[in-house]
C-alpha cells in the first residue's frame, strides 16, 4: 500500500518548498513479541531459515507479559534510568526514535546502544510504515500533537493485537495531555515516576536515577527561598529579540579555574572576554553553558580578581596563564547573565557529602536528601535524592543535573552510576576518563568487522605493491620510548657520496587499513587521539592495528608512507624530496637509551650505529638552522614513575630524561611534517589539514618581561629569534634550574597550537611561532592521531595514488579540526590528571621536604613549582575572605611587581623556597597534595572553606553586602568594595606593625 507524507521546509534563501515523500505501507511488520503466532507466521512466509537466523542476531524480541511503550520525552529526560538493566521489555516506536534523533543525537546514540543489547529486550517497531499504525497529519495539527497521536494509535493497536495472549500494554509518558487522551481511549498508562516507584522495592537504586526536570519540591530550600532568589532568566523569545537588536551578547560561559565567583563569556565579535563577577551575576550559569549577557555601563567595568579560591592542581592549567595575568590590572567589559540559551550540563564525577550518622540509613528505605560534591570545583554542589545512602557513602559516583530553580541555592539532579571506592586507583582512573570525556568504550562489532585478516602482511600480493616502493633492503630502524608497541615512525640514512645523504622518514600507512567512511574511520575521527595515562593507553584504533599490523616493528613487513630527501650533509640544504607509499622491513626497534649508547660508544661500528651517528650529526645541522630562524626551545615539567611490578603503585618519581636521540628523532619528524604541509597545501589550498601556533601579542609577555628584567636580565620578545636569544642568556651560575624555569613560564605566555583548515585563514596566519616555520602539519603519528590520517589521504591524492574524497572541502576539514583540538586538549588534561593521581598515591603515608620556586603570586596565596616531582601547589597566606589568623599573616599584594609582603617576608616570582609535601586526607572525597612553606616559615593554615564551592557562605556574604549598598549596585562593584576594604585593613595593620 502506498501513502504520501508531505511537509514544508524553508531554504537558506527563504524559499518555502513542499516536500512529498512516497511511503509504502506494509501489513507484515512483526510486533516483536515471542508469543504472537500471527506475526511469526507472516515472518516465516516472507523469509527463509537463513534470513531468520541473521535477523535473530540483529533484532531483539520481547517475552514478558507486560510491555512498556516509551514516549519521546521519557527517553530524552530519563536516559540514565533507561540504561539500568532493571528496565526491560520495551517498545520503541520509529516515531519516537526519529524525534529523539532530531532533538538530541547523543541520547539517540545511547538509546540505540540499549536497543542493541539483546539482554534488555528493547524492540523497535516501525509504526510509520505499518498499515495498522501509520497516520497522516491532520489540518491544524502541530507536528508534536501528530506524533503524540501516532504513539497513542500504536499503543491502541498493540493492545488489541496482543489482547488474546493476556499481555498488558502500558504507555509510559509524562506529558499530561498525552496521558489524559490515552486514558480517554481506555489505554493503560503511567508516568515514569509511578513506574519507578512500583519497581523500587526490588530495585531501590532506580529511584536515585530518576530525573525530575519539572520537580518543584524544594523542601530543604523553603526557608532559604524566603531570604533570597536569583534573577529570573529571560524567556527565549525575548532573548532572541534582544540578541538580534544588540541589547544582549551571546557567548560561552567559563568559570574561572581559580575562583568560582568569577567567570568569563567569550564572543567571537568581541576582542576581550566579558567578565562576570559575583554569584548573583553568574545567575545559575554552569561552566560550558551558552548564555545571554547584559553588558554593564563602561563606568562599571572591572578588573579580574587577584584572589585564589580554588586550589589549582595544574591539570586544567591555562596554557597562557601568565599572559592572562598580564591583563589583570586592566579593566575589561563586565556584565551579568540574564538568560540561558543552551545548557551544557553533563554527567559529573564526585562524591556525596553526608554529615549524619550513617548507621541510621542502613535500615531506612525512605528518601534522603544529599549534597553531591563534584570533583570539578567550578561546578556547584548538586542536591540529589536517594534511598540507598549507605551504598553511596565512600564511593565515587556520577550525577547529572536536572534543573536549577531560581529559589534554590544549588541545582538538583539524580544519581547515574557508582564508579567504585574513593581513593581506589582504578576508580580514580575511570573518573579521569569520564571527567575529560575520553571515549574508552570497547570497539564495537561493526568496527571489528573492518579489521583485515591478522596474517595479511604475511601474504603481500602484487596488487598490494601497485604504487609502492619496495624498501625492504634498506637499513631502516625505529627509536622510541621503552615499552612502545604503537611504533609510528622509522628512519634510514644512506651516503650517496659527494657530501650528499639520502634520508628517509617512514610512517605507518594507517590509511591503507582505515578506509574513509568506514565504521572504524568514524570511530577514529570521534576519538581523534590515543590517550596516554601513567599506567595505561586508550587507543584510537583497535589493538590489532595499533600494536600489530600498522606498527613498524622490527623483522616484519609493514606498509609505510615515506618522505625521502637528498640533503647536503654539511649545510643541511634540501636538494630533492620524494613522497611515496612503500613497504619496509625494520631491522631494529631501539629505545632512546639504546640508540644513545650506540652513538656514544665509538667501538660499535655496525651499520645501525654508523647510521645513527650520521643521522645525529645531520640533525644537529638542521636544528641549528631552525634555531637560527628563531625556533624556540621551551620546557614543561615531565615526570615518570617507577613501579615494583606492572600496574603497581609508584615506588619512586623522577624527571623524564631527554637525550640527544630524542632531539634527533624530533628533528626529522619536524622535517617530514613541514615538507608534507607544503605539498598538501600546494594541491589543496582551500582544505589542507594544517597546524598553527599563533604569534603571541606583545602584551602577553609584559608581565614575564618585567619579572625577568627585575632579576637583572634583558628580555626582548619583539621576534621569536630575539626571544630565543633572551632565553639562552637567562643563565644563573648559582641556580641551574633558573633557565628551565624561564622556558616553562615563557610557554605560559602563549596560546596552544591548533589544527585548522587552510581555507579558513590567510596564508600569513599559517605560521607556527614556536617552530619558526611558515607552514606545518601533523603527518608522523597516524596510529595515535586522526589528523595525521587525513593528511595521509591528502598526500596520497596529491601524488596521484588515490582519488580525493567528494566531501573534501573547507567546512568538512574545519569541523574535523574543531573536534581534534578539543580531544587533544582533553587528552592532555587526562594525562596530567593521571600523573597527579600517581603522585598522590606515591606520597600517601610519607612526607617530603623539597626545594620549590614561586611561579605565580596572587593576593592571598602564591603558587610554587617543585622541580623534583614536576608538580605545582598553592601556598595560602590568608583566606579569600580576608581571614588572616593573626597580624603577622597580613600580606600586601603588589600586582605590578608580583610580590606578597608582610614586612617580614616578601615573596616574588622566581624565589626559591623550601616546602613540605604531604597528603591531606581529612576529606575522604577530596584527598589532595598539600604544600606548606617552611623556609621561610608560613604558619597560616587555610580554613575548610578555601577550595570548596560553598554557595551558603557566598550568598550570605553577598546578601549582607546588599543590605549596606543600594539595590542597583552590581555584583562586580560589591566585589571591588570588598577587595578595597580588605586592602585598607591590610595597610592599617602594616602601619601598626611598623609602629
Q: Find, among 912, 904, 900, the residue nearest to 864 by Cα.
A: 912
The grid coordinates listed for 714 are 634583558
Per-position b or e across 833-849, b if 16+ CB within 10 A of its CB: bbbbbbbbbbbeeeeee
Cβ distance 377 to 395 under 8 Å?
Answer: no
pLDDT-derived band of residue 202, with 50, 70 and 90 as boundaries?
A: confident
Is 60 exceeded by the pLDDT of residue 975? no
Task: Compute the distance between CA of residue 784 and CA of residue 514 in angstroms, rounded to an integer.
Answer: 13
pLDDT-derived band of residue 946, with 50, 70 and 90 as boundaries?
A: low
pLDDT-derived band of residue 288, with 50, 70 and 90 as boundaries?
A: very high
Distances, alpha carbon 37 to alpha carbons 56, 164, 313, 643, in Å? 16, 11, 63, 62
CB atoms within 10 A of CB 145: 15
Per-residue pLDDT tens digits for 206-233: 888 988 755 544 444 455 545 568 999 9
Per-residue pLDDT tens digits for 523-554: 999 999 999 999 899 999 999 999 999 999 99
Which has the minimum average pLDDT: 619-623, 795-799, 842-846? Answer: 842-846
- Main-chain phi, psi angles of 865, to 5 degrees: -110, 130
Is 50 exceeded by the pLDDT of residue 970? no
Would you state the pLDDT for residue 63? 80
Is 60 exceeded by the pLDDT of residue 428? yes
Would you give the end-to-end CA distance of the chain in angstroms? 99
Q: What percent of the chain has pLDDT over 70?
A: 85
pLDDT-derived band of residue 980, with 50, 70 and 90 as boundaries?
A: very low
Would you state the pLDDT for residue 438? 95
The grid coordinates listed for 170 are 502500558
Would you state the pLDDT for residue 986? 33
Task: Compute the distance between CA of residue 441 and CA of residue 471 in angstroms, rounded to an integer.
Answer: 38
Element (H, E) at 170: strand 168-172
Cβ distance 205 to 104 under 8 Å?
Answer: no
Is 90 exceeded by the pLDDT of residue 450? yes
Task: Compute the distance between CA of residue 112 and CA of residue 105 in angstroms, rounded to an integer.
Answer: 10
Task: Compute the distance between CA of residue 690 and CA of residue 768 in angstroms, rounded to an integer.
Answer: 10
Per-residue pLDDT tens digits for 583-614: 999 999 999 999 999 999 999 999 999 999 99
What is the side-by-side strand order in the sheet with 861-866?
Answer: 871-876, 861-866, 848-857, 912-920, 928-935
The grid coordinates listed for 218 are 524544594
Average pLDDT over residues 401-411: 92
Distances, alpha carbon 916 to alpha carbons 66, 230, 462, in Å? 64, 43, 66
* Selected residue with higher pLDDT from 216 and 124: 124
For the chain, what is the mean pLDDT? 86
The grid coordinates listed for 820 are 581534534
Per-residue pLDDT tens digits for 237-266: 999 999 999 999 999 999 998 888 999 999
Would you state the pLDDT for residue 471? 96
The grid coordinates listed for 262 are 568569577
DSSP state of 753: P
Task: Compute the distance between CA of residue 215 and CA of residue 377 in angstroms, rounded to an integer.
Answer: 25
Q: Find, among 261, 262, 66, 251, the residue nearest to 158 by Cα.
A: 66
With a CB cutoff of 8 Å and minimum separation 6, the contacts of 482 are: 591, 593
Is 60 exceeded by the pLDDT of residue 911? yes
Would you state the pLDDT for residue 673? 98
The alpha carbon of 55 is separated from its chain's Cα centroid by a whole number of angstroms, namely: 38
Region label for 420, one of left (φ > 0), alpha (ψ between -120 and 50) or beta (otherwise): left
Question: Helices (DSSP H) in 844-934: which residue ranges?
Answer: none
Per-residue pLDDT tens digits for 331-379: 899 999 999 999 999 999 999 987 766 665 555 557 788 999 999 989 9
CB atoms within 10 A of CB 125: 23
DSSP 321-372: HHHHHHTTTS-B-EEEEEEEEE-----EEEEEE--S-GGGGSS--S-EEEEE
Per-residue pLDDT tens digits for 657-701: 889 999 999 999 999 999 999 999 999 999 999 999 999 988 889
Q: Find, among 859, 658, 652, the residue nearest to 743 by Cα.
A: 658
Would you state the pLDDT for residue 994? 35
Per-residue pLDDT tens digits for 498-508: 999 999 999 99
3-state secondary structure 249-309: EEEEEEECCCCCCEEEEECCCCCCCEEEECHHHHCCCCCCCEEEEEECCHHHCECCCCCCC
Question: Helices (DSSP H) in 362-414: which residue ranges?
Answer: 389-392
* Selected residue with higher pLDDT from 200 and 953: 200
Distances, alpha carbon 897 to alpha carbons 711, 723, 900, 978, in Å? 11, 21, 9, 22
Per-position b or e across 644-654, b if 16+ CB within 10 A of its CB: eeeeeebeebe
Cβ distance 531 to 429 under 8 Å?
Answer: no
- Which residue bears the cell 539517540? 108
Task: Compute the distance between CA of residue 513 and CA of residue 892 in angstroms, rounded to an integer.
Answer: 62
Is 50 exceeded by the pLDDT of residue 164? yes
Would you state the pLDDT for residue 964? 40
- CA-angle at 529, arms to 523 and 532, nearest 5°: 125
* Selected residue with higher pLDDT from 746 and 652: 746
Task: Compute the distance between CA of residue 127 and CA of residue 790 in angstroms, rounded to an integer.
Answer: 41
Cα pseudo-dihedral 871, 877, 880, 881, rounded to 10: 160
Amino acid at each position: 500500500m502506498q501513502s504520501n507524507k508531505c511537509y514544508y521546509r524553508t531554504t537558506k534563501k527563504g524559499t518555502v518548498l513542499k516536500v512529498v515523500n512516497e511511503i509504502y505501507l506494509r501489513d507484515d511488520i512483526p510486533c516483536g513479541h515471542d508469543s504472537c503466532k500471527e506475526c511469526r507466521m507472516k515472518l516465516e512466509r516472507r523469509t527463509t531459515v537463513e534470513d531468520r537466523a541473521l535477523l535473530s542476531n540483529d533484532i531483539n524480541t520481547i517475552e514478558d507479559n507486560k510491555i512498556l511503550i516509551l514516549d519521546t520525552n521519557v527517553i530524552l529526560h530519563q536516559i540514565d534510568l533507561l540504561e539500568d538493566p532493571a528496565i526491560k521489555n520495551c517498545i520503541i516506536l520509529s516515531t519516537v526514535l526519529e524525534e529523539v534523533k532530531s532533538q538530541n543525537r547523543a541520547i539517540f546514540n545511547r538509546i540505540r546502544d540499549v536497543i542493541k543489547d539483546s539482554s534488555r529486550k528493547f524492540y523497535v517497531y516501525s509504526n510509520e510504515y505499518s498499515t495498522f499504525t501509520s497516520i497522516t497529519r491532520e489540518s491544524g495539527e502541530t507536528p508534536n500533537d501528530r506524533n503524540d497521536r501516532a504513539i497513542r494509535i500504536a499503543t491502541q493497536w498493540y493492545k488489541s493485537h496482543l489482547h488474546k495472549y493476556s499481555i498488558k500494554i502500558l504507555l509510559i509518558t509524562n506529558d499530561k495531555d498525552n496521558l489524559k487522551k490515552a486514558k480517554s481511549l481506555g489505554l493503560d498508562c503511567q508516568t515514569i515516576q509511578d513506574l519507578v516507584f512500583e519497581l523500587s522495592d526490588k530495585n531501590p537504586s532506580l529511584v536515585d536515577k530518576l530525573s525530575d526536570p519539572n520537580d518543584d519540591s524544594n523542601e530543604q530550600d523553603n526557608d532559604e527561598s524566603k531570604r533570597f532568589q536569583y534573577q529570573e532568566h529571560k524567556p527565549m523569545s525575548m532573548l532572541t529579540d534582544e540578541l538580534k537588536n544588540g541589547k544582549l551578547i551571546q557567548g560561552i560561559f567559563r568559570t574561572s579555574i581559580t575562583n568560582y565567583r568569577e567567570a568569563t563569556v567569550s564572543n567571537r565579535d568581541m576582542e576581550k572576554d566579558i567578565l562576570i563577577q559575583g554569584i548573583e551575576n553568574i545567575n545559575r550559569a554552569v561552566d560550558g553553558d551558552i548564555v545571554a549577557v547584559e553588558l554593564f555601563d563602561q563606568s562599571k567595568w572591572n578588573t579580574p580578581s587577584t584572589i585564589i579560591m580554588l586550589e589549582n592542581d595544574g591539570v586544567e592549567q591555562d596554557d597562557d596563564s601568565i599572559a592572562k595575568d598580564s591583563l589583570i590590572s586592566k579593566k575589561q567589559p563586565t556584565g551579568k547573565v540574564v538568560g540561558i540559551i543552551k545548557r551544557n550540563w553533563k554527567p559529573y564525577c564526585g562524591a556525596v557529602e553526608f554529615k549524619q550518622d550513617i548507621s541510621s540509613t542502613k535500615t531506612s528505605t525512605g528518601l534522603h536528601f544529599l549534597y553531591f560534591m563534584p570533583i570539578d570545583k567550578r561546578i556547584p554542589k548538586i542536591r540529589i535524592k536517594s534511598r540507598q545512602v549507605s551504598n553511596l557513602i565512600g564511593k565515587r559516583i556520577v550525577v547529572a543535573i536536572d534543573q536549577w530553580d531560581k529559589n534554590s541555592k544549588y541545582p538538583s539532579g539524580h544519581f547515574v552510576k557508582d564508579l567504585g571506592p574513593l581513593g581506589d586507583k582504578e576508580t580514580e582512573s575511570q573518573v579521569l576518563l569520564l571527567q575529560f570525556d575520553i571515549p574508552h568504550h570497547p570497539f564495537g562489532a561493526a568496527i571489528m568487522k573492518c579489521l583485515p585478516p591478522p596474517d595479511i602482511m604475511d601474504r603481500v600480493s602484487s596488487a598490494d605493491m601497485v604504487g609502492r616502493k619496495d624498501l625492504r633492503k634498506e637499513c631502516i630502524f625505529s627509536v622510541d620510548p621503552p615499552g612502545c608497541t604503537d611504533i609510528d615512525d622509522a628512519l634510514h640514512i644512506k651516503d650517496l657520496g659527494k657530501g650528499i645523504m639520502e634520508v628517509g622518514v617512514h610512517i605507518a600507512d594507517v590509511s591503507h587499513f582505515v578506509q574513509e567512511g568506514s565504521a572504524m574511520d568514524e570511530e577514529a575521527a570521534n576519538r581523534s587521539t590515543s590517550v596516554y595515562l601513567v599506567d595505561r593507553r586508550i587507543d584510537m584504533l583497535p589493538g590489532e592495528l595499533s600494536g600489530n599490523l600498522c606498527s613498524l616493528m622490527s623483522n616484519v613487513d609493514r606498509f609505510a608512507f615515506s618522505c625521502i630527501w637528498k640533503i647536503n650533509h654539511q649545510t643541511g640544504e634540501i636538494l630533492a624530496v620524494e613522497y611515496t607509499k612503500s613497504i619496509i622491513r625494520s631491522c631494529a626497534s631501539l629505545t632512546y637509551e639504546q640508540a644513545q649508547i650506540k652513538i656514544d660508544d665509538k667501538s660499535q661500528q655496525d651499520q645501525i650505529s654508523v647510521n645513527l651517528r650520521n643521522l645525529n650529526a645531520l640533525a644537529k645541522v638542521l636544528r641549528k638552522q631552525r634555531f637560527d630562524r628563531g625556533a624556540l626551545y621551551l620546557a614543561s615539567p615531565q615526570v615518570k614513575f617507577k613501579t615494583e611490578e606492572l600496574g603497581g603503585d609508584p615506588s619512586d618519581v623522577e624527571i623524564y630524561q631527554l637525550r640527544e636521540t630524542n632531539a634527533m628523532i624530533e628533528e626529522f619528524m619536524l622535517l617530514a611534517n613541514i615538507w608534507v604541509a607544503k605539498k598538501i597545501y600546494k594541491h589543496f589550498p582551500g582544505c589542507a589539514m594544517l597546524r598553527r601556533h599563533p604569534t603571541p601579542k606583545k602584551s602577553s609577555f609584559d608581565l614575564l618581561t618585567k619579572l625577568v628584567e627585575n632579576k637583572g636580565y634583558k628580555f626582548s620578545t619583539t621576534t621569536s629569534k630575539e626571544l630565543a636569544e633572551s632565553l639562552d642568556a637567562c643563565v644563573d651560575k648559582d641556580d641551574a634550574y633558573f633557565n628551565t624555569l624561564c622556558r616553562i613560564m615563557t610557554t605560559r605566555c602563549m596560546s596552544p597550537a591548533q589544527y585548522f583548515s587552510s581555507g579558513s585563514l590567510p596564508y600569513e596566519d599559517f605560521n607556527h611561532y614556536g617552530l619558526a616555520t611558515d607552514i606545518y602539519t601533523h603527518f608522523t603519528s597516524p596510529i595515535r592521531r586522526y589528523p595525521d590520517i587525513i593528511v595521509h589521504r591528502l598526500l596520497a591524492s596529491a601524488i596521484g595514488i588515490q582519488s580525493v574524497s567528494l566531501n573534501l572541502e573547507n567546512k568538512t576539514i574545519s569541523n574535523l579540526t574543531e573536534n581534534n583540538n578539543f580531544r587533544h586538549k582533553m587528552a592532555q588534561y587526562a594525562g596530567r590528571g593521571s600523573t597527579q593521581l600517581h603522585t598522590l598515591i606515591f606520597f600517601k603515608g610519607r612526607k617530603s621536604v623539597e626545594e620549590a620556586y614561586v611561579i605565580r603570586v596572587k593576593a592571598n596565596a602564591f603558587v610554587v613549582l617543585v622541580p623534583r616531582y614536576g608538580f605545582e601547589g598553592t601556598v595560602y597566606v590568608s583566606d579569600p575572605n580576608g581571614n588572616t589568623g593573626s597580624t603577622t599573616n597580613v600580606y600586601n599584594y603588589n600586582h605590578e611587581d608580583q610580590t606578597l609582603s608582610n614586612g617580614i617576608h616578601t615573596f616574588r616570582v622566581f624565589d626559591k623556597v623550601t616546602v613540605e609535601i604531604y597528603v591531606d586526607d581529612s576529606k575522604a572525597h577530596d584527598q589532595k597534595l598539600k604544600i606548606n612553606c617552611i623556609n621561610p616559615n608560613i604558619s597560616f593554615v587555610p580554613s575548610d572553606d578555601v577550595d570548596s564551592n560553598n554557595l551558603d557562605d557566598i550568598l550570605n556574604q553577598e546578601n549582607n553586602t546588599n543590605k549596606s549598598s543600594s539595590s542597583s549596585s552590581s555584583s562586580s562593584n560589591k566585589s571591588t568594595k570588598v577587595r578595597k576594604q580588605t586592602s585598607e585593613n591590610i595597610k592599617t595593620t602594616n602601619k601598626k606593625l611598623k609602629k
